[in-house]
Structure 1
């Protein structure tokens, strides 16, 4: 295998060279690199360029599962770009990477320390691995009540209690662009020789501009999974898994990737990762200047409107709320869309907008016109006349008093048999459903987690404070689903 310069895109270049050979294909895929898709609404014109690069593993195209050519070169360039010792391309999103890093490290029965508010793919990976999860409750942002990451003290205590843990899994940043200082968390785990795995799906751009927080790799994490498509410019479903250090056995993670990734990976997806990496290395921090300018302009303009933005660590995430609580985040999201702006997501308070390398000044202009239009509509509406009941905000971690470190919990791979019992009668039983109070949006009980009297008291307290409960079959929490007696294994 040779080497490549950072201004090159070896995987994309290989696809271009292959297309120019004008070979006669007797291999999959069935379209044979020809625009044979039925001429429906311009489909041939829209997909023709993509079909030309949609090939399979051939003598000159390399193999994602055993790379030695263009894919290997592209992955090496990505590792150098993002500061990893080894990088692997993902064609199943960060989900594939999260599954693989867990399956490559954990055996059935192993203890894993897990930030309680992780993405569902982490939970799915732990279920598939048969690991026993010790959940760590995250700290809440004092102003917004949004969950961030566990306190350093929580991690230090957890690694003292569970020194045999195979890994600690963190999720940073969150959807809102908020992150914790990961360095002391990593140091606490490494002091016990426990590897740190980070789901950094929303932070692929971290460390690439002085305005951004540092990345998980820069903090010393052992495995970091990034959704390159989310905040950089690759195609949807394309992502990267980065590794460094000697606390994880990389061949096992590579083997797990072979299990969870398609044996027919998409070359257009992989080429888009190659091009996204090249874009970063050729343009440098200038790549992000247009989006940062939009972020600054919008934040400054909000001061003169009836909206405010969350003070997040990532300036490319704009979380906007109505200062006077006349609109929920969901309603603001809908009104933005009516005015031509499609937000990433919303919750009861905020509409969350994601900026990126493709964001331009005119996008900010459209957004400000939309916000001005919405503000004008709200002039006659006071908070007392709001059609929406304001959702109470849990303002600090002390308001979320349930245990910071859970007992070990085994997540079931299959849906267990459950029955409904009264909340008071559930003490000592095994929870059969997800119970996620909002606010603060942290799963208080996972399926398979023992229901303690403390958990019941916390649920009652949160319900009295006005929280809603996602995942609960009975939203009033008069009853809760538990595993049937014969299924409590």
Structure 2
């Protein structure tokens, strides 16, 4: 589906029905005898004498639009007015048959997709292994059996993208009863490959292609941007509008098309996983973002694209730093990395001295805050609000760092370089995986405390993990409970510990130890997940 030619609504598209309904509510100045308790910001205004006359003003103004389901503001879970119209206009702009607003970020969309596709405990879902933690949580909630598919690896960077066409074909053949395929595209680094072959395979098998496109809300909206997942035939696509477009944090959308996903069930699942008191400012920001896109068209992105191009050209002039990009001619069906989001600029220290974590710290000291870093790379996320002056500030900081004389580094820094080489070996989340796993059953049953022990990280290889290890960002679990810890995973855990990376889900935040299932319990399968 070509989104550029699928925008309808005409004059309506330059309106923002939900946002305008909230403005009308504010102008009426009705007496509030309904929630929320701040009463259109009055509770904050009453505190101004304590904190200064201007202290609470911006928040109080925002609260004037923070309403609930009253006459004229509609109901997210049963939309009939402004919200229904706002979602319809969004579907037209983004090229979907139907769009749902999400106030719990892409997490809510991922949970709803999985709970809709896997409607009965034990259902099989084909899942790309390196997915966001919300996908693992969705599998647990659904009581699903996941068949994990190994992602493809970009040989140059060692980073993972979507599974290959051959892997998906094999999985569909081995598990004809699978309820769908879920993949992540693009990855956190803006890397990707064509989804069209996977969409064709899924359609031929009569199962939905579900895509976590959290970092691709802008895809398909400008000729210089990659095609969106639903533009390539996906059945359901989750996008974090707040990440790469202009919505408030937690504002996201779920786009649906075709008949392979039960939309009636999807609506019910969305009502389960989203608040019954959704944020109207978040929903209004989604409506307003769509209005800006429709009003400006491709011009909405021109300034930011020029800024990103300027930044890339400047980085290429600095021999000290490398820039992640697809290999020339990497566009074939077998290419793991053929697409790069122009708004994700990924850099690394070509001298091999600084890890990504160290480089991020140096940039932050210069007043430039990256999106994330790992053992090797630093991800710089741009967007419609990116300014040329900010790109110039970053280039100035990189030029200053380039002056560092590598030859003056003492012998201790050779240990850092050795550590980076080890990180390259460990930063391959699909290298040790079988292309198509046997089914792994998930449930909400916790592992009994008496079945768990903590062991030093040096002794974890070969053991079954009893906790989830989630470096954050990007929020992709290295391990889930019940998964066997490979030598490669052990190596990656050591690197995360040495880099003092932040990890969620672990009991020992220093990663000196890790929780595993007691060996005597392994054979009894009395833990959270099990091989079917």
Do both proteins adopt the same fold according to a TM-score greater than 0.5, normalized to the shorter chain? yes
Match of 1:26 in 2: 33
Which stretch shows the higher mean deviation, 418-427 or 279-288? Answer: 418-427
Q: Please state how far the C-alpha of 1:382 moved relative to its aligned partner.
A: 4.7
Q: Mark the CA change 1:156 to 1:26 in structure 2 (over 3 Å): closer, same or farther.
A: same
Among 333, 338, 343, the residue aligned to 1:316: 343
- Give the 3 Å change call, closer, same or farther, for CA 200–461 of structure 1 in structure 2: closer
How far, CA to CA, are the matches of 1:346 and 1:174 in structure 2?
14
Aligned partner of 2:352 in structure 1 is 325
CA distance in 1, matches of 2:372, 2:64: 34
- Distance apart, 1:299 and its partner CA: 1.3
Q: Distance in 2 between matches of 1:396 and 1:466?
A: 10
Q: Which residue number corresponds to residue 5 of structure 2?
A: none
Q: In the TM superposition, what is the alpha-carbon distance from 1:30 to its structure 2 partner?
A: 1.2
> 2:132–2:477: 8 Å Cα contact kept in structure 1?
no
CA pair 124-395 structure 1, distance change in 2 beyond 3 A: closer
Q: CA deviation at 1:194?
A: 1.2
How do residues 28-43 of structure 1 correspond to structure 2 at under 5 angstroms? 28-37=35-44, 38-39=47-48, 40=51, 42-43=54-55
**Is the CA contact 1:326–1:383 (under 8 Å) kept in the aligned structure 2?**
no
- 3-state DSSP of counterpart to 2:177: coil
- Higher mean displacement: 307-316 or 8-17: 307-316
Q: Is the 8 A contact 1:391 1:466 kept in 2?
A: no
For the structure 1 residues 79 and 395, does the alpha-carbon distance in structure 2 shift closer, same or farther, using more than 3 Å as the test? same
Q: Distance in 2 between matches of 1:426 and 1:372?
A: 42
Between stretches 58-67 and 471-480, larger displacement belongs to 471-480
Work out the CA distance in 2 between the residues paired with 1:151 and 1:114: 13
Structure 2: distance between partners of 1:3 and 1:207? 19
SS at match of 1:218: helix
Q: Which of 404, 414, 437 is residue 406 of structure 1 equivalent to?
A: 437
What is the deviation of 1:466?
9.8
Q: Secondary structure at the match of 2:288?
A: helix
1:95-134 Cα shifts (integer Å, max 9, x gaps)? 1111111112212100000000000001101100000000
**Counterparts in 2 of 1:227-266, with a 5 A limit?**
227-266=240-279
Distance 1:167 1:192 in 2: 9
Q: Does 1:63 align with 2:90?
A: no
**Among candidates 92, 108, 112, match of residue 100 of structure 1:** 112
CA distance in 1, matches of 2:283, 2:151: 34
**Following the alignment from structure 2 to structure 1, what is the Cα–Cα distance between the partners of residues 459 and 68?**
58
TM-score (norm. length: structure 1): 0.90
Query: Please, what is the CA RMSD of the aligned residues?
Result: 3.1
Q: 1:342 aligns with which of 359, 369, 386?
A: 369
> In structure 1, which of residues 443, 447, 455 is the aligned counterpart of residue 481 of structure 2?
447
Shift of 1:421: 9.5
Q: Over residues 386-420 of structure 1, what are the superposed CA-to-partner deviations in whole Å (9 max), with x where a residue is unaligned?
A: 37332432499798143111111112324312334
Q: Which residue of 1 aligns with 2:17?
A: 10
2:240 and 2:430 mapped to 1: Cα distance? 32
Query: Which among 390, 399, 417 is matched to residue 420 of structure 2?
Result: 390
- Does residue 292 (structure 1) correspond to residue 291 (structure 2)? The answer is no
Give, in whole Å, the separation in 2 of the partners of 1:397 and 1:413. 29
Contact (CA 8 Å) 1:74, 1:274: kept in 2 or not?
A: yes
- The residue number in structure 2 matching 1:158 is 171
For the residue of structure 1 that corresponds to 2:255, the secondary structure is: strand
Q: How many residue pairs were aligned?
A: 479
Task: Kindly state the Cα deviation for residue 282 of structure 1 after the two structures are TM-superposed.
Answer: 1.0
* Residue 187 (str. 1) matches residue 176 (str. 2): no
SS of the aligned residue for 1:114 comes to strand
Q: 1:461 to 1:29 in 2, by over 3 A?
A: closer
Asked if 1 retains the 8 angstrom alpha-carbon contact of 2:88 and 2:98, the reply is yes
Aligned to 1:216: 229
Q: Do the aligned partners of residues 425 and 394 (structure 1) sit closer, same or farther apart at CA in structure 2, a change above 3 Å counting?
A: closer
Cα distance change, pair 251–74 in 1 and its aligned pair in 2 (3 A): same
Q: Which residue of structure 2 aligns with residue 136 of structure 1? A: 149
- Any idea what SS the aligned residue of 2:237 has? strand
Structure 2, unaligned runs of 5 or more = 1-8, 327-339, 497-502
Aligned to 1:280: 293
Query: Contact 2:133–2:477 (CA<8 Å) still a contact in 1?
Result: no
The secondary structure found in structure 2 opposite 1:43 is: coil
- Name stretches of at least 5 consecutive residues in structure 1 with no aligned partner: none
Greater Cα shift, 145-154 or 418-427: 418-427
Matched, 1:419 2:452: yes
What residue is the counterpart of 1:433 in the other structure?
Answer: 467
